[in-house]
Chain A
């Protein structure tokens, strides 16, 4: 099973600031990596897939990068609606397609 880790576990950011979240896989997942956003009381929402492709309707301030074992999600200028928990997930060939433990982005 591929183990996904995320750092930091929590991130305090002021509105308008840039936030960078990291995700690491225990072995290469190539670019088979997705990022999800989850707000309280809601299901997760797909933000990024194939490591760097924005899903439909996702604002351009969200960007993803990386390949292999190291990935990052950047929010260029945090808006109030961006404060949430962010999860990475691999979907590389063999299940289980594990999620990272999440990074909570909250208001500084």
Chain B
């Protein structure tokens, strides 16, 4: 069974930094691209960032470009999102999701999702 478990969320001041982690199990992690999606409580979904199977291809949404960095450690079956220069509007649930591309990319549907982790940016 595919499992994705996010951690590292919490409360941070505007301008601060936080690193989210996603521990994956139940599938061959380094065969698949991965994606971060966020959701302001009560609002819609926003695509944040994607990474291919070996980490040499990444992309970001416009609202986080230059502030967030996605990475992965295939030896640890882990996905990360380093968030810096955080803003109040970054407050959201952050989901990691498995991208099911045969090529190991992230330009494909999201077939499995974690339960999400809340990040609150507040002074």
Q: Which residues of A contact B (CB under 8 A)?
A: 1, 32, 34, 36, 38, 43-46, 49-50, 55, 87, 89, 91-93, 95-102
B40 to chain A, nearest CB (A): 12
Say how far A88's CB is from chain B's closest CB, in angstroms. Answer: 10
Interface residue total, chain B, C-beta cutoff 8 A: 23
Docked pose: A50 CA to B41 CA in angstroms = 28
Write the residues of chain B forming the contact surface with A, with a CB cutoff of 8 angstroms: 35, 37, 44-47, 50, 59-62, 95, 97, 106-111, 113-116
> Is A91 a contact of B107 with CB atoms below 8 Å?
yes
A45 to B111 Cα, complex, angstroms: 7
Q: Which of B44, B62, B107 contacts A1 (CB 8 A)?
A: B62
Residues of B close to A43: CB separation below 8 A: 95, 97, 113-116
CB neighbours of B116 from chain A (8 A): 43
Query: Which residues of the other chain, B, contact A49 by a CB distance below 8 angstroms?
Result: 108-109
Chain B interface, >50% SS class: strand
Shortest CB-to-CB span from A27 to chain B, Å, is 16
Residue of B at shortest CB range from A95? Answer: B59
B111 and A99: CB pair below 8 A? no
Residue among A91, A92, A93 having the largest count of chain B Cβ atoms under 10 Å: A91
Given A34-B109, A95-B107, check contact A44 B60 (CB 8 Å).
Answer: no
CB atoms of B47 and A95 under 8 A apart? yes
